[in-house]
Structure 1
Amino acid sequence: MRASAQRVGVLCAVLLTCLASTGCGAAAQTIDLSRLVVEPNPRIGLSFPGSQVRYYPYMAGAGVGVARIAVTWQLIEPERGRYNWRGLDERVGALLALGIRPFLTFESKSDWGTRPETSKVKNGDPTDLGLWTGFVGRVTERYDGDGRDDMPGLKGRVVHYQAANEWESPTNPSGGWIGSGAALIAYINATHDAVKAADPQAVFVLGGIASFNLDVLLVALDRADFRVQQRWSEASTTVFDRDRIKSPDIAALIDERVMPVLREARYDIADAHLYGPEERDAARLALLAELSGRPVLSAECGGPSRDYGDDYTPEGHFLAAVHRHLNVLASGGAFCLWFRLGEDDKTTWGNRFTALYTNDARPKPGVWAFRMLARLLGPDVLPHPLPAGGFELRGSGDPVRLAWGEGAADVLDWAARGSTPAWCLIDPIQGTLAPVGAGCAPGAFIVAGSDVARLLSLDP
């Protein structure tokens, strides 16, 4: 309690310093993030925007530059040798027309092409890997932009392909794998090889590991010591404590499936799905990079999560969008793909409110965070974590610092010492940033930098 009071005292002192200076915001103007017009930024992404392409401009308007869509075997090839490209062509074409790069995740779910006992997961085990890889090759060839067997009217190309989403568990309805680890590795390798044969320049991403399982790995390998949980409803929560995680069955799953896949499968990039506490992301990403020996990105991320008992708040949504994206970029990842464009009930209870828009297409605070990041994250800009919390964006221009909570006071102090303009988030629902001299709540989101006003202007 005393430490918290001291931090508030420091913050108040810094605010008084700002009021007395011209550089910390006294001469700055309010920034309205809701009015920013942005271009799609390839370092900001979204996962599963849905099949209704009339909503895709909402992504471009938020600055989204990469979008992940599913390629389901059964839908594209409902019968052996008969193809229906209409829906996938429409989605890929609509994304490219908006300047958004498609990220294709293969799902081997097929009534005719996979073993019936694996039909309950999206990664069905093909009865004939040759038939499956023939399908994968056709898809890749259709969107590689080489002018041979391309989709009619293709403008651009697809670079990222993925298979075996959330492969760790045999019961995961979002992906899963029912079968041996050896069969899973053979499936991943065959898919990888089919993509590369059709397009040697394509990037193949291993199916993502769920955040719950990443946390289990951290505890099991003694890299962390915390409770791991997922809430399914107000009254139902799955909890793994340290004793459960250290049990023989978890050790066997790690030794017999997780580690062999990470080490023996062929892929270019590993994928960490990021939900729950944002503070765990750096350790999750570092562990996956270490175990896989490859670069890491996040093809599915979101927040704020209710899995650990927190309620949704507008400010929490804004902060989660900033924190999660910068976590991935600071770890060397190419992008973080936010989970869902609009709200619906097709997700877990804990992730019910991660979407960027409400179900009636009203923008949520994460949209304003996306627009801000789309402007601040130029091609040469890299985020670096700050010791007290938050990030410094470094590029060819002057640095920009962003922080909240415990890190906010340090950024305000840095701004005051350098007579650097600074703003705080005063209205996450409307996306309003006010000069700090106008008054900020303790621990509010802060952005500071000599070039911020220009970067976030209505006409930069």
Structure 2
Amino acid sequence: MRKRIAVLIGLGLVFLSFFTCFGTLYAIGSNKKLDLEGVSIDNFRMGLSYPPLKNEQQRKFSKNHMEKLNIDLVRTGVSWSYIEANEGHFTWSGFDKRMQFFNENNIDILLTISSDGPEWNVDQKTPESSTYKNVTAFEVFLQALFTRYADYNIHKIQFGNEWPNEYQFIGTAEQYVNYSNTVYEIANETIPDTTFVLGGIATANLRIAAAYYNYTDFYRIGTNATILTGAELEGLMASEFVKEGVARVNYVLANASYDELDLHFYDDYENWGTYVTMMNDLVPGVPIIVSEFGGPNLSWEKYTRDSQARHLKESIETLDGIGIEEAYYFKLTQGGAIPQHRKSCLVGSTVTIKPAYYVMQAFTASNAQVNFIFYTEYSFVFMGIISLIYFVFVGIFGLIKVIQKRKSK
């Protein structure tokens, strides 16, 4: 009996060791099909958009992966609603730790100031944004923020996210310009060497604008596989919804103060160059960064880890040839509110390394390493699940044998 249990435990350890290394072996084997030999990024700087940083464990996790990927550029956010939940009382401790982490590890940051405000100063709101009763209170917060972190690695700064969409910014174009220009002016006074980037423009807005201005002759809906052409496309472009959206974007582009534009790219990398050309025509001479990119779209195609790896390779090669300055991959770990992009991550939900991870590493670190110690350290969740299932099975098996033995007596 004891020998059988010992054999089962031994087999279990072999089984666990195999699965601990399996993800890495699979990823490396998968990427041999992609011809990654000699790939590199020559024309832009790679970063990560919103890696996990909430606590010490997450910061350690992100630091280790950033070192493996040779990335020292991060997009992160700060929320007025969290920092000053009660008027006049600032809670900096959590954000202090994050900013200290960036400084200690020489990581440059693109700081996105979210457009949500504290309840005591909110006029209109969505879960992602709000308008303010008192802009002077916002100015006080900004002064405190920039003064506190004036000597930290704030590489670039922006206000709001995907503001052309009313869900992401509930206010008018005039209100967005007012708030964004307030950030621009106070940043210029307190951290004058920091570049100001206009809040990001979503891929869906770029697709609509490209069709509206005849840079493309179709519009593909992001949430399903529908492609509009011909009369259907003309009807959409003539709608008040599109006209109002285009007017909103044009007003902001013409009246906001900014040093750079920010575009968000997902899925259709074959059209990203067209979107950059369009924005260069609309706003000549303004540099462009991409603070989010990812894919593939789960609503457009069947997902496999191999298809994601191919998509990432094509995406990076595209970005390297369209004249942008920086691109931030979204994202390192699985999750997010957009269901069609929930698998656009380099590390899976069970903390397993995906083939796309090694594609990224091939471009950013000029190699794709098999590092079993590193992989094992960040595979405890996966190992724990397998261990629990296996040893519960062994326990049940042993219990059955004990019961049978007693009955036989």
Partner in structure 2 of residue 92 of structure 1: 99
- The alpha-carbon deviation at position 166 of structure 1 amounts to 0.5
Partner in structure 2 of residue 211 of structure 1: 203
Q: What is the rounded CA distance, in whole Å, between the counterparts of 2:133 and 2:227 in structure 1?
A: 36
1:66/1:101 contact within 8 Å kept: yes
Are residues 261 and 349 of structure 1, via their aligned partners in 2, closer, same or farther at CA, if it must alter by over 3 Å? same
- The alpha-carbon deviation at position 101 of structure 1 amounts to 1.4
Structure 2: segments with no counterpart, 5+ residues: 1-31, 372-409
Q: What is the rounded CA distance, in whole Å, between the counterparts of 2:34 and 2:188 in structure 1?
A: 45
RMSD: 3.0
Check if 1:59 corresponds to 2:66: yes
Q: What is the rounded CA distance, in whole Å, between the counterparts of 1:332 and 1:208 in structure 2?
A: 17
- The alpha-carbon deviation at position 167 of structure 1 amounts to 0.5
Partner in structure 2 of residue 367 of structure 1: 357
Equivalent position amino acid for 1:74 in 2: S
Aligned partner of residue 274 in structure 1, secondary structure: strand
Aligned partner of residue 125 in structure 1, secondary structure: strand
Partner in structure 1 of residue 46 of structure 2: 44
CA-to-partner distance for each residue in 1:331-371, whole Å, 9 max, x for gaps?
22221111122112x33221011111012222112221221
Partner in structure 2 of residue 139 of structure 1: 145
CA-to-partner distance for each residue in 1:127-183, whole Å, 9 max, x for gaps?
2222112212322222231xxxxxxxxxx5211111121001212xxxx22232222
Partner in structure 2 of residue 124 of structure 1: 130
CA-to-partner distance for each residue in 1:269-321, whole Å, 9 max, x for gaps?
111100121101111122123223311110011022223x2122233322332
Equivalent position amino acid for 1:299 in 2: S
Q: What is the rounded CA distance, in whole Å, between the counterparts of 1:271 and 1:348 in structure 2?
A: 19
Are residues 237 and 429 of structure 1, via their aligned partners in 2, closer, same or farther at CA, if it must alter by over 3 Å? farther
- The alpha-carbon deviation at position 110 of structure 1 amounts to 2.5
Aligned partner of residue 288 in structure 1, secondary structure: helix
2:115/2:169 contact within 8 Å kept: no
Of 241, 246, 254, the residue aligned with 1:263 is 254
Are residues 112 and 95 of structure 1, via their aligned partners in 2, closer, same or farther at CA, if it must alter by over 3 Å? same
Q: What is the rounded CA distance, in whole Å, between the counterparts of 1:325 and 1:114 in structure 2?
A: 42
Equivalent position amino acid for 2:234 in 1: D
Aligned partner of residue 258 in structure 1, secondary structure: helix
Q: What is the rounded CA distance, in whole Å, between the counterparts of 1:113 and 1:238 in structure 2?
A: 43
1:276/1:306 contact within 8 Å kept: no
Of 247, 250, 259, the residue aligned with 2:238 is 247
Q: How does 1:263-412 map to 2 (within 5 A)?
A: 263-293=254-284, 294-307=286-299, 309-344=300-335, 346-375=336-365
Are residues 42 and 222 of structure 1, via their aligned partners in 2, closer, same or farther at CA, if it must alter by over 3 Å? closer
- The alpha-carbon deviation at position 206 of structure 1 amounts to 0.8
Partner in structure 1 of residue 161 of structure 2: 165
TM-score (normalised: structure 2)? 0.73
Q: How does 1:420-431 map to 2 (within 5 A)?
A: none
Partner in structure 2 of residue 398 of structure 1: none
- The alpha-carbon deviation at position 244 of structure 1 amounts to 4.2
Higher relative CO (Cα under 8 Å, sequence separation at least 6) belongs to: 2
Partner in structure 1 of residue 24 of structure 2: none
Aligned partner of residue 339 in structure 2, secondary structure: coil
Are residues 223 and 124 of structure 1, via their aligned partners in 2, closer, same or farther at CA, if it must alter by over 3 Å? same
Partner in structure 2 of residue 201 of structure 1: 193
Q: What is the rounded CA distance, in whole Å, between the counterparts of 1:193 and 1:113 in structure 2?
A: 24
Give 1 or 2: higher helix fraction. Answer: 2
Q: What is the rounded CA distance, in whole Å, between the counterparts of 2:75 and 2:226 in structure 1?
A: 28
2:115/2:161 contact within 8 Å kept: no
Equivalent position amino acid for 2:157 in 1: Y
Are residues 132 and 42 of structure 1, via their aligned partners in 2, closer, same or farther at CA, if it must alter by over 3 Å? farther
Aligned partner of residue 230 in structure 1, secondary structure: coil
Q: How does 1:151-190 map to 2 (within 5 A)?
A: 156-171=152-167, 176-190=168-182
In the comparison of the two structures, how many residue pairs are matched?
326
Q: What is the rounded CA distance, in whole Å, between the counterparts of 1:204 and 1:254 in structure 2?
A: 23
Aligned partner of residue 340 in structure 2, secondary structure: coil
Equivalent position amino acid for 1:144 in 2: A
Aligned partner of residue 74 in structure 2, secondary structure: strand
Are residues 274 and 87 of structure 1, via their aligned partners in 2, closer, same or farther at CA, if it must alter by over 3 Å? same
Q: What is the rounded CA distance, in whole Å, between the counterparts of 2:235 and 2:49 in structure 1?
A: 32
1:33/1:371 contact within 8 Å kept: no
- The alpha-carbon deviation at position 113 of structure 1 amounts to 4.7
Are residues 334 and 99 of structure 1, via their aligned partners in 2, closer, same or farther at CA, if it must alter by over 3 Å? same
Aligned partner of residue 206 in structure 2, secondary structure: helix
